[in-house]
Structure formats: C-alpha cells, structure tokens
Structure 1
C-alpha cells in the first residue's frame, strides 16, 4: 500500500471543504437549538435536549471526519460516506413536507460528497487503491 506524497487531489480537498462546511452549518443549527431550548416557554425538555445534543454531535463528527480525511486517514472515509447518505432520507422527508427547495440540494450534497469520497483520485490518495 503506497500513499501518494504529492498534494491532496482536488476531489479530496473539496470533500474535506464540504464536510467542514456541513459541520459549520449544523453547528449553527445546534446554536439556534440551544437558544430555542433556553427561551422556550413550554417544551418537552428531555426531547429538546436530545435533539440539541444530536445536532452538536453531528457537527463534531463532521468536523472530525473532515480533519481526518485531510490528514489522509483512510478509516474516516466510510463513516463520512454514511453521514452523507443520511442526507438522502432527510432530504426526501423535507420534499414530502413541502421544503423541496431545501431537500433537493441536501440530497444532491450528500450524493456529491459521497461521489468525491469514492472517486479514484481520493481512493488513491487515501491508499485504498
């Protein structure tokens, strides 16, 4: 198994950028959820905290996977692909709920980042070819 010592391929760099951008976006959603948890007049507190923790955990996972892939850690590719494929049902239910303007781009993002992660240049850079 040889790992190319040259600069990271464009596909890997874009996958890392997009994973980090997703982490930031989900972090902003988590920050809004924290604010909503603190200012809500009536709420199911355990459920609210669980949703907030899930968003914070997802943001942390996306950021960590982006960093690991940036350091060419091959083991980070599969979990990153799983998280990207999770955007498909989320996007589908958004479309069903009348939020197609958000659901379709989310589905495209998930498929696009997955394609970047399984592309031959990324596979070679991670030493999986």
Structure 2
C-alpha cells in the first residue's frame, strides 16, 4: 500500500504571487496594446504591416500571460514552462532598454522576470503543481 501525502498548503503563497504578477503583466501589456491600436489608427505615415504585427504581438502576449496565470491558478503543471519562458524574455527586453537609456524601466523589468521565474521554480510552487 502506498502512502498518501496531503499537501498542507493547497495554494502556496509563491504560486499565488506568481499568478498575481502574471495577471498584472497581462494587464500592463494589454494597456500597451490599446495604445498601439490608437497609435496605428492615428499615425500620419506608417508601415502598416509592421505596425499591425507589433500590435498583434502585444495583444497575443497579453492574452498568453493572462491564460497562463489562469492555468497556474488552477494548478495546471503544463503552464509553468511557457510562463518561465515568457518571464525570461523580459531579460533581453530589459537589457536593450538599459542600452537605449531607459534603465529606469529596463532594470525593474529584468528584476520582475527573474522574480516571477524564481516564484515559479520555488519548492512550494513545484510541490503544488505536482512535480
């Protein structure tokens, strides 16, 4: 007979914060997407295909972050790896912001990516997701 272990913390704080931060990132990227749509509609001259591609990328990123946050909130283990990949994508984005003189934004973005990534691989989150 195998022993059954009952998880004493069904929703660990680390997982709850990871979900909150993923959802906050989704909202922030959604606001950027709204601004991009407005910019696409009001621009005097533009490269329309490129503008639409950047806007679609922002909308897709916001939707992916929101969906991954929801899946992790429901403790779906398969959502952890894609969420970590999206968080790691903040590192080069932040780096190029720093190189471009936007260190005030790049450094916090890099810290956010590393922080959420750490929350997603922490032992309580790992146990809650069944790994």
TM range (shorter): over 0.9
Please state how far the C-alpha of 1:30 moved relative to its aligned partner: 0.1
The answer as to whether partners of 2:10 and 2:128 remain within 8 angstroms in 1 is: no
Gaps of 5+ in 2: none
- Is the CA contact (8 Å cut-off) linking 1:3 and 1:126 kept in structure 2? no
Structure 1 position 70, deviation (Å): 0.0
8 Å contact kept, 2:14–2:125: yes
Q: Which string of whole-angstrom CA distances, capped at 9 and with x for unpartnered residues, describes residues 53-111 of structure 1? A: 00000000000000000000000000000000000000000000000000000000000
Q: Which runs of 5+ in 1 are unaligned?
A: none
Indicate if the aligned counterparts of 1:9 and 1:125 stay in contact, CA closer than 8 A.
Answer: yes
Alignment check: 8 A CA contact 1:3 1:124 kept: no
Work out the CA distance in 2 between the residues paired with 1:125 and 1:78.
15
Q: Distance in 1 between matches of 2:96 and 2:40?
A: 24
CA deviation map 1:7-31 (0-9, x unaligned) = 3000000000000000000000000
Deviation for aligned residue 1:4: 3.2
* Number of residues of Structure 1 aligned to a counterpart in Structure 2: 127
Decide whether aligned partners of structure 1 residues 3 and 27 sit closer, same or farther in structure 2, where only a CA change above 3 A counts: farther
CA RMSD in angstroms, aligned pairs only: 1.5
How far apart in 1 are the matches of 2:8 and 2:87? 27
Distance 2:18 2:51 in 1: 31
The Cα of 1:36 is off from its aligned counterpart by: 0.2
Runs of 4+ deviating beyond 2 Å:
1-7
TM-score in terms of structure 2 length: 0.94
Structure with more contact order per residue of length (Cα contacts < 8 Å, sep ≥ 6) = 1
* SS across alignment from 1:43: coil
